[in-house]
Structure 1
């Protein structure tokens, strides 16, 4: 057989070729670096520029952190220890941590009370934030506001108990009459709650020594504790109020609609600091002589109204994003307005509105520092006032403001990460 004929015979391999490892540039860390850091001329330039900026920042901050002083009594001793070397004077944090967290006037032997209230806050939020937990834990969530008030402000436990009883009676009356008429159920529940609170006021006064903690007035609240109180309370109250305002703005009843429109547009057109000045100064002129309206309560009302106006617009955007067919589907099922909103419309609108709501909540929590301009000693007020005004620590800035930034970053970053997790769980993007 000639060579030409031998090469024309087809060849079929009877064994497979052994598998080989992929090229080094197509796997592992090298692949990640090539695709994410050096994926082109522009990407390589930006990566090198970023590395240079990070290097310059680390060169300045690492010695400042590593050589930091933590055990001196004032800034003069701190500078003597450093002897001109680069280093932070972190002794101000170890020496004034109690004022930064709890304020200057809260009794030092009672720090366990707001600390316990913070721990219970996490426990109370868990069944709300993570819906896979047993729903029976919502009982703890319902009891928490009354227990936290007693722990932080003190006094007899009968005050929060009677407040809780008043809410319970009002809810039972609402459920009894709302079947016949929503207005009758709502106003009947409010009236029943007010009567229960009025009767409870006499009972609380008669049992003022029953399970009483040392009373702490609102003017003694301060530090990061005050920021947490304002942030948690105002966010919790502004969300349902914002939902009501959003629904009212889309109402077919002209009076309800225009009341909501005027409220939202007026609040959104006024700076928050102006509302805080109104709460601090102007609001007292509209109260009867001798009336003592707690300052923290006034501030909570103003901040809640401010946040509710923005949340209402966010939720209105979620309602407008729903297809018209969802409303028609609710009508075809024979659902009334309240049932349609509760079962079909609001669950979808709130899922769409999660990013906007979280954005308002994060901004609101940071805006609680504005109360320092009305002489409330929150975290920023403590730094600007008693700490930097003292001769011991006058001149320490980066350490204090860095500590404040760290506290706010931890809370805000936690809120942001939870919102992203919730979006993935609820598939907000309709994938």
Structure 2
């Protein structure tokens, strides 16, 4: 008997159509699920398509929309500026638009690995501060605008970016403290992380609105958006700390021990050897957390901050366009989907790229 006789027979590779057919009807269970799915789509898609497109009103007035059974996309055209920018003064709306472009440009640069340098870390607080100045104004240079007039997409992007950028350094410190040999510091870190992860974000927002002002000295106040940002950053840091801790555990202890034998101190070891590897490993996880945090900013509506969702809800309460909530929510859902789906695809691309670089 030769070695060839011992090899198992090789089956011909299945084509794309064969694999597709086997996936749908490879067994009677697959066939039942496929047929049930097709029946559900036939029942749902035609009336939904008719409401969304065929019977929809694309231009006109609210009365013309109510005369038809389809969606009123004329409402979106009429209220688009309000949904995106809320109550910001019309003659100054170039400022929130510019702030959105700056934030999107910063996010695009951050997504490209070739820009992962020290300058990018410096650009984050600089761009966020510039966006805040554009929104709030600067006496003598830009007309001041009160934060209760802010709203829409700029508020969502600025709060999300500022809170995430603030939470990440704190998360690194919490993760290091949780792995520390100092028992008291480790217990404090564990207690903070588990406390924050054990309460809902809505409760944190109510603390920012109701409890945090009581902690300020008498006669002093803090802007509502700033209070919300502080508490959200502290809340998100607990979740990011666990992601970073997973990256720290992925770095072999031998590398830290080898660096210690060379005379490097703890912080130099963390800075030069451990953290660069740990953060590189968990970048896909951080991206996924960032997507979830962006979607969670919709909870700002419960405390009266006119983020994108709350601005859309308020637009449908206009007496001239009263009741078109479905269209408002669908439009906002599409915006969140673009960010969420784009971020998820980017995360998959980045994970493949980093895996390829590690193999090479």
TM-score range, shorter chain: 0.7 to 0.9
Pair 1:33-2:20 in alignment: yes
Task: Give the 3 Å change call, closer, same or farther, for CA 377–136 of structure 1 in structure 2.
Answer: closer
Aligned to 2:137: 154
Give 1:78's match in structure 2, choosing from 48, 54, 65.
65
TM-score in terms of structure 1 length: 0.73
- Does the 8 Å CA contact 1:125/1:141 hold for their aligned counterparts? no
Q: State the shift of 1:430 in Å.
A: 6.4
| CA deviation profile, 1:61-102 (whole Å, cap 9, x unmatched) | 11112221122332x33122x1xxx41112221111111111
Distance 2:123 2:267 in 1: 27
Task: Give the 3 Å change call, closer, same or farther, for CA 310–134 of structure 1 in structure 2.
Answer: closer
Distance 1:289 1:323 in 2: 51
Give 2:279's match in structure 1, choosing from 350, 374, 377.
350
Secondary structure of 1:389 counterpart: coil
Matching of residues 192-341 of structure 1 within 5 Å: 208-209=139-140, 212-341=141-270
Q: State the shift of 1:293 in Å.
A: 0.7
- Does the 8 Å CA contact 1:154/1:213 hold for their aligned counterparts? yes
Pair 1:58-2:45 in alignment: yes
Q: State the shift of 1:353 in Å.
A: 2.6
The structure with more radius of gyration? 1
Aligned to 2:8: none
Aligned to 2:328: 400
- Does the 8 Å CA contact 1:223/1:379 hold for their aligned counterparts? yes
Distance 2:258 2:349 in 1: 30
| CA deviation profile, 1:350-374 (whole Å, cap 9, x unmatched) | 2333343233222221221112111
Distance 1:372 1:258 in 2: 35
Aligned to 1:42: 29
Give 1:100's match in structure 2, choosing from 68, 75, 83.
83
- Does the 8 Å CA contact 2:167/2:237 hold for their aligned counterparts? yes
TM-score in terms of structure 2 length: 0.86
Aligned to 1:387: 315
Task: Give the 3 Å change call, closer, same or farther, for CA 318–135 of structure 1 in structure 2.
Answer: closer
Task: Give the 3 Å change call, closer, same or farther, for CA 341–35 of structure 1 in structure 2.
Answer: farther
Give 1:113's match in structure 2, choosing from 71, 95, 108.
95
CA RMSD, Structure 1 to Structure 2 (Å): 2.7
Task: Give the 3 Å change call, closer, same or farther, for CA 335–128 of structure 1 in structure 2.
Answer: farther
Q: State the shift of 1:136 in Å.
A: 9.2
Q: State the shift of 1:247 in Å.
A: 0.6
Task: Give the 3 Å change call, closer, same or farther, for CA 78–128 of structure 1 in structure 2.
Answer: closer
Unaligned 5+ residue runs, structure 2?
Answer: 1-11
Distance 1:278 1:102 in 2: 26
Unaligned 5+ residue runs, structure 1?
Answer: 1-22, 156-207
| CA deviation profile, 1:91-116 (whole Å, cap 9, x unmatched) | 2211111111111x201122221222
- Does the 8 Å CA contact 2:124/2:165 hold for their aligned counterparts? no
Query: Alignment length, in residue pairs?
Result: 346
Give 2:57's match in structure 1, choosing from 69, 74, 77.
69
Aligned to 1:173: none
- Higher mean displacement: 120-129 or 246-255: 120-129
Distance 2:34 2:262 in 1: 57
Q: State the shift of 1:36 in Å.
A: 4.1
